Amino acid sequence: MSMPRLAHSQQNLQQPAAVHLDEAGEKWARESLQKMSLEQKVGQMFMVWSLARLMNVESPDYLKLRDTVRTYHLGGLGLTVRFEDGILYENEPLEAAMVTNQLQKDAEFPLLFGADFEHGLGMRLKEVTNFPQPMAFGATGNVELARQAGRITAQEARAIGVHWNWYPVADVNSNPLNPIINTRSFGEDPKLVSDMVAAYIEGAHEYGLLTTAKHFPGHGDTDTDSHTATPIVDRDKAYFDDVALPPFRAAIAAGVDAVMVAHILAPALDPNPKHIATLSPAIVTGLLKQQLGFTGLVVTDAFDMGGLTLMFPEGGPAAAARAAVKAVQAGNDMLLIPSDLDASYHGLLQAVRSGEITEARIDESVLKILRAKASVGLDRTAMVDLDAATRIVDKPSSLAMAQEIADQAVTLVRDNHRVLPLKATHAGTNPARNPYLSAAETHNRIVVLVFTDDSRSDSGRLLDQQVKMRIPDANVMYIDPRTAVGMTPPVLDAVQQAQAVIAAIYMAPVPGKVVRDQSDAVMNAMALQDAAAALLQSVLRAANEKTAVIAMGNPYLAAAFPGIQTYVCTYSHAQVSEMSAVKAMFGEIPMPGRLPVTIPNFAKRGAGLGAPAPVSSGGTQ
């Protein structure tokens, strides 16, 4: 039985308001549930990916996605972009809006669109507001900035048809070796993380965006990526009570709409070695729902991740079906990104038909899902106004706020007063070179070494451009693990000649990233790979006193290089953070940030010299 189709017209477009379930929405949710068949109700509990790229409605890709939505009666879709060989292919916001509109128009039921907008829409799209990574917010210590980010992300997300952000990260990053949370966390202080999480939720709600606290019951003290393995948080119950759980309590108190459960083992909370949190009744129902009193949506982390699939080594459709059943039995309401949708859907359907799961249990979850849809106006209309998107997305005021946050996050952890600030030789634009001045005379005065995972990526490009606007003859050299050995002689030669060296290190968590050392053993994905680490060590041995290391992401990297004399953290490789890094290098902005984490054998949480740097002559603001 189909629900009544929503009318779609220019006069019937979304007008996002604060997240709120009114009486009409509650009535719609209950009546819709009563009209649904069992097949339709089970389908509402699944979400799969949809690419944000524009698709012709007659193209095979679109028809396949449309038919999947209809065949399985999906509750919603996760909006994402193509990611191949380490490169993220961002799409335009209007493309995304057109995709969500078209799918809503062709869907049987209004679709709930979710996305991973952890640092704004810039995490997936271009020409949008891109905030720094969450740890940068922690470095500012200013919860109002998190609230502002929530507001801006909500406005932009709703403008393109996304109703639900799978954020904020409520994990307390208490393990410096964490390869997947790291800078995605606000920091290691449960109180700071709690305050930031609550402020973000409140800001997002003001402009109609559903929020998600993740990754329950806390993914912060792991040294394994749950995308590729099953992490174990081998800590006692007191750790969870005092460190991991407070931010989730704060999120619930702030009215968070959903909690995402992690694919991790937590023996102190459930000793069963097969009960990862996602499949654990003790953790999902006992702890989250009963003890913490959470009544909103409980959602799984992606069901195609290794942390879950490794629990079912037999693989195949039967394993996918069994995982879905166990997740619902544990207390989850929505299952995100199943590895085998057909098997998961039919497995759950069969479990209800056989009496293994009651239909009342399914109704409980589906009513929550429908209430969430109604709270963002999907009971009235599902279409977005494309003209409104051009007025809301990428506003200059939003971009300025993102830049302010990045500027306030910059942290001067160590300073030998011999490198920074750099002195600009030209202001503002890249001038024509003097034909009578030999480039060899000045080319190595300032050497900038950009360490990246892949020199083909965009990492370092804006930093390169901005440095050369200030010092046109700066020597910028890109280094990645494949080129580090071959680059060693020219890099060391340039460093020897330089008056000052900047080593900008781009390292950020990448889901599912596997890094191997020279012996082919898996190494921590947040550590510099062997050849690159060896080159940085050689640079520091040769020129430590005249080298400033800039952590464009992972602040913990300094633990492997304890002799660093000048160390700056931006906690992020977003373009606003690149701008902040350059301005800080040239003394154009102060560096007021404070470390929100402890760097072992290097600096304690709260460290930061914080003195405003003198303005460099000829620099730009």
Which residue numbers are catalytic?
Answer: 227, 301
Question: Cα(22)–Cα(24) distance, rounded to whole angstroms?
Answer: 5
Q: Indicate the pairing of strand 566-569 with strand 411-414.
A: antiparallel
Q: DSSP letters along 481-521, please?
A: TTTHHHHHHHHHHHHHH-SEEEEEE-----TT--EE-TTS-
Q: Are 523 and 529 in contact (CB under 8 A)?
A: yes
CB contact at 8 A, 517 and 530: yes
Residue 183: both structure tokens together = 């800078």
Closest CA to 411 of 204, 558, 208: 558
Q: Per the omega criterion (within 30 degrees of 0), is the bond before 168 cis?
A: yes
CB distance 200 to 145 below 8 Å: no
| CA nearest to 45, candidates 356, 298, 308, 375 | 298
Of 601, 93, 608, residue with least CA distance to 387: 93
CA–CA gap between residue 329 and residue 356 (Å, rounded): 9
Contact 264, 233 (CB under 8 A): yes
Say how far residue 523 (Cα) sits from the centre of its chain. Answer: 22
Distance of alpha carbon 387 from alpha carbon 431, whole angstroms: 39
